[in-house]
Structure 1
Amino acid sequence: MKKLMKAAVVTLLFCLTLAACGGGNSGANTGTNAGGNSPEAEVKNEKLIVYTNANSDGRGEWLVEKAKSAGFDIEIVGAGGADLTNRLIAEKNNPTADVVYGLNNMLYESLKKESVLVSYVPSWAGEVEAGLNDPEGFYHGLIKQAILLGYNPDAFTAETAPKDWTDLYQNEAFIGKYEAPTLLGQNTPRLVVAGILVRYMDENGDLGISEEGWEEIRKLYDNGVRAIEGEDFYANLASGKTPMGALVSGTLSSKEEQYNVKAGIVSPEIGVPMVVEHVAIINGTKKQDTAERFVEWMGSAEVQGEFVQQFNAMPANTVAAEQANEPIKELFADLKAQPFDWTFIADNIDLWVEKIELQIMK
């Protein structure tokens, strides 16, 4: 009897050992566990919907492919900055997007005000140039864009060219030779206007601007050539049709190559409108963890360094800036940012545009 009981105990222990080993092998094969603490645990990246106004000229396709190689599946939805902002606000109670990037400070301030964004501070935030990130952590800088006053070098020299936007309508030599920022549905013309108006801030003035400021805007439009929808301004600059007007630093090199004309650039003493393309996570996304991982990856110095080399851009990330191409480094070395109160501009820009379109651009 004792021999039988001893044999039964040995058999039972042997079976329990096999079961334990079998269970361990099963967990190792799946690479996951209930607690998710195993170093072999797989990270699940869900498909992200990414809204942007910065996907042109192959930039969107580049990001999709790079993200895929890093383990992310993203679908880019591209549109103009103002249109995307309005869409995000309209969708805020049932968001479609998980991440948004490319918009400027002015538009992000509108999204913050409408509670469209969620605060998240990525690990690379400290590498971004001081003062460019949102201090409350809702959006963080990727690419610096300068709004420039450019001119045809065959028509003007550095000595004869204007020194500021205000020279365009104050100096008779420039009247009728510059493109006025009339396409106010676009951000670049809006920022040109804002760059003049903020010099005349007056809490007692119409829409926060003194009458002197509004008179300056009237002169800007009265003495310039109106932009035509669909025309490429750089083509007009190169041909001499309108040899002066607004340029964006991010597209400058491609335009110079396309038209074989290197524009002269004005560096006003007050500075230039300097906007930053940012990235942010949408409040209400059901894919928060994946969105955070994507933002960590996208804004890293490694990825931004590759991007700025490919597209000749200037990164906000100071580590990535070391990898920027020399011409863009040289351009930004000569520029300073015009001081802007972005909250004030965001609160008033739509009203300024309405006034200009209805009362000034008649």
Structure 2
Amino acid sequence: MEQQQGTDVPGRRCGGRRGNVLGRAARRTLALAAGVLMVAGAAVACADESTTGGEVTLLTHDSFELPESVIDGFRRETGLTLKIVKSGDAGQLASTVSLTPGAPKGDVVFGIDNTFASRPIEAGALEAYAPPAAANGAAEYAVPGATDLLTAVDRGDVCLNIDDAWYESRGITPPQSFRDLARPEYAAQTVLTDPATSSPGTAFLLTTVGALGDGWQDYWKRVVDGGAEIVSGWEVAYNQVFSAGEGKGDRPIVLSYASSPAATPNTSALLDSCFPQVEYVGILKGTRNSSGARQLVDYMLSPEVQAALPESMYVYPVQRDVPLPEGWPARAEVPEWISSLPPATIADNREKWLDQWRAVVGR
């Protein structure tokens, strides 16, 4: 799905006809000099297009959302048009970027998180840039060993969410822990996301690995055998299958975020089931608008964007001293416990764990 913001500004064309061709009567002594000047002029024009231009393309996931006023603020501040191209969940986004190093489909990528960060880094798909504003908070969430390749923009905690109203209306006790999903009555009420394509799905898989150790595979077998539904990504799970989501589905347990209850009344998060998630922005190697790409990375750390994140995507900003919506911290509770694995451990074991997960759940 592609979303166009603002008004396109055409760039120069390169390689076309430029001016009048010298006639045969022209002095041969000027021909070589004229030819050199024409080539130099064309080269300058092409360089201008590749480094300045009027448009910046942002590749992102389907859940990306910012107010129109904030999107327009980028154009007002820089004079550049922002073109937004959405590409599935964070896992699919990471795969798309990693498969096209040096020949990107855009200029900047946003939404790759700490569970998938190693993919584009190892693929050599990112261009180094250290925005000055990162020193005010974002740098604290940098990917170890790749500080200049990805810049943190927001953070949150992936947790199971409960539709409290659904349980109350039926006089049923809701689950108290992620471990309860191994019981058939709760498994059949649950929708989860595929860790191969969904960053929340990967985070929950890592939660089970970190919390259950060698018992994580048995846990997943019991959850799936009990009737849990597994879908491709968060948008489908929350907005279509979850009973408190927009689609008013039939499952009252969903994988989402500790902050999601701030947006959805009568829901809560199981705060013993959480994994910390950080989302990053990075410049794609081979961008045709390096200058514009850097300006967009800078803008993602601006007060305008950072202040809009809680109500737009229900995540916490990474920059210091950013005001939160009134009452938001109380509705977006901090987890009691989180399962945190070092990025290097995730990178070294993710594919093995995914293979083992597929074998257990039969996907």
Q: TM-score, normalised by structure 1?
A: 0.70
Aligned to 1:26: none
Aligned to 2:270: 266
- The question of 1:48 aligning with 2:60 is answered no
Q: Partners in 2 of 1:99 and 1:278 — Cα distance?
A: 11
Aligned to 2:160: 149
- State the one-letter code of the partner of 1:349: R
Closer, same or farther in 2 for the Cα pair 1:228/1:307, shift >3 Å?
closer
- The question of 1:191 aligning with 2:203 is answered yes
Q: Gapped runs of 5+ residues in structure 2?
A: 1-50
After superposition, the C-alpha distances for 1:210-262 in whole angstroms (9 at most, x for unaligned) are 3x3322221222224324675613226796943223123565544x2xxxx52
Q: Partners in 2 of 1:313 and 1:248 — Cα distance?
A: 8
Aligned to 2:220: 217
SS in 1 for 2:356: helix
Q: Does the Cα contact within 8 Å between 1:312 and 1:328 map onto a contact in 2? A: no
CA shift at 1:101, angstroms?
A: 1.0
Aligned to 2:326: 326
SS in 1 for 2:274: coil
CA shift at 1:168, angstroms?
A: 1.9
Aligned with 1:140 (options 145, 151, 158): 151
Q: TM-score, normalised by structure 2?
A: 0.70
- State the one-letter code of the partner of 1:145: G
Q: Partners in 2 of 1:49 and 1:222 — Cα distance?
A: 43
Q: Does the Cα contact within 8 Å between 1:111 and 1:117 map onto a contact in 2? A: yes
Q: Does the Cα contact within 8 Å between 1:313 and 1:328 map onto a contact in 2? A: no
SS in 1 for 2:106: coil
Q: Indicate the larger mover: 291-300 or 180-189.
A: 180-189
Q: List aligned pairs for 1:1-362, cutoff 5 A.
A: 46-53=54-61, 56=64, 58-59=65-66, 63-71=70-78, 72-80=80-88, 81-128=90-137, 131-135=140-144, 136-137=146-147, 138-154=149-165, 155=167, 160-169=173-182, 171=183, 174-181=186-193, 184-199=196-211, 210=214, 212-227=215-230, 232-235=240-243, 241-249=250-258, 252-254=261-263, 256=264, 261-268=265-272, 272-309=274-311, 312-320=314-322, 323-335=323-335, 337-361=338-362
CA shift at 1:275, angstroms?
A: 0.9
After superposition, the C-alpha distances for 1:18-71 in whole angstroms (9 at most, x for unaligned) are xxxxxxxxxxxxxxxxxxxxxxxxx95642221111554x53855532211212
Q: Partners in 2 of 1:173 and 1:240 — Cα distance?
A: 17
Q: Does the Cα contact within 8 Å between 2:61 and 2:87 map onto a contact in 1? A: yes
Q: Does the Cα contact within 8 Å between 1:143 and 1:314 map onto a contact in 2? A: yes
Closer, same or farther in 2 for the Cα pair 1:123/1:265, shift >3 Å?
same
Instruction: Give the count of matched residue pairs.
Output: 299
Q: Partners in 2 of 1:239 and 1:91 — Cα distance?
A: 38
After superposition, the C-alpha distances for 1:181-207 in whole angstroms (9 at most, x for unaligned) are 457532322321221023355xxxxxx
Q: Give percent identity, aligned residues only.
A: 16
Q: Partners in 1 of 2:297 and 2:61 — Cα distance?
A: 17
Q: Partners in 2 of 1:95 and 1:189 — Cα distance?
A: 26
CA shift at 1:142, angstroms?
A: 1.2
Closer, same or farther in 2 for the Cα pair 1:327/1:361, shift >3 Å?
farther
After superposition, the C-alpha distances for 1:89-129 in whole angstroms (9 at most, x for unaligned) are 22213233221112211222211111111232211212226
